[in-house]
Amino acid sequence: MSTVAQLEASRYGAAPFELYRFARGTEEWRYATTEDPFVYLGQTFAPAVIRRGELAAVDEQGTRQLEVTLPRTDPLVTQFIGGLAPTPVSLTLYRSHRGASDVQTLFIGQVSALTLEGAEAKLLCTPMQALFSRTVPRVAIQRTCPWMLYDVNCGLAAAAFTFAASVTAVNGLLVTVAGVPNLGAGSTYYAAGVLKLGEARAFIVGQNAAVLQLMAPLAGLAVGAAVELVAGCDRTAATCQGRFANIANFGGFPALPKRNPFDRLT
């Protein structure tokens, strides 16, 4: 059986594929460029529409970076809507060939930026060796909470704030739902939350009673569809306590003065 190195140099026998393993704490998102699921190290990588660029993008510090492109509606992408998580998402990229006897590791790093372009999302990933030279604090001092909702720092379980609903109307990005609490006038309970349709997810950018505004269209969403709504958070101390009773894990500093005491600037 040939090795990856031998098949890379082959003119006729090459049949490359790649495996992407994103991870944050105990959560993992695994993708493969194969037509069928691929099992490696006891983990299953699912076929996905995913591609990457060369390790050639360079930031202002001269660090070579890797750009990975996924559909905008992919469950991984929704983790970054509203900003990068304080708990970083790592990426390990593997490459092999059909019929090869080994798998090579091409890249190890973490997601450092997200850009949305139409129906696609581009994740910019920084190599792990470049992260060791980082001198900027990971968490900024700010009035609002810096934690990503439901991450390990937030401490909340998303399942406790997830509700089954039914769709009663769809008008572009506006979706009307029924059968869940907190749909009254003035409610923002689901704003900055997520609407789930099976494995697909869409970020909720606004709420007007029972009408939710999505950031992007969700394929297959129609009247009568059974969905799940996950509560959102505006990262204020009032919402943290009033909605989630989670003020003990609030990471912001709401009493931070608005005026800088040193230069008197706001």
High-pLDDT (> 70) share of the chain, %: 84
CA angle 36, 37, 38 (to 5 degrees): 110
Tens digit of pLDDT for each residue in 145-168?
A: 988 899 888 999 999 999 999 999
pTM (2 d.p.): 0.56
Q: Where are the domains of the chain?
A: 17-131, 158-249
Cβ neighbours of residue 121 closer than 8 Å, sequence gap 6 or more: 69, 70, 71, 72, 74, 77, 80, 114, 115
Tens digit of pLDDT for each residue in 109-131?
A: 999 888 888 889 999 998 877 65
> Does residue 136 surpass a pLDDT of 90?
no
Q: Find which of 23-27, 58-62, 215-219, 224-228 is predicted with most confidence, using mean pLDDT.
A: 224-228
Summarize the confidence of residues 80-96 as an average pLDDT.
78
Summarize the confidence of residues 16-40 as an average pLDDT.
92
> Does residue 266 surpass a pLDDT of 60?
no
Residue 44 pLDDT grade (very low, low, confident, very high; cuts 50, 70, 90):
very high
The fold of the 158-249 domain, in CATH, is Elongation Factor Tu (Ef-tu); domain 3 (2.40.30)
User: Tokens 């931070």, residue?
Assistant: 256
> Does residue 134 surpass a pLDDT of 60?
no
> Does residue 259 surpass a pLDDT of 80?
no
Q: Which CATH code fits 17-131?
A: 2.30.110
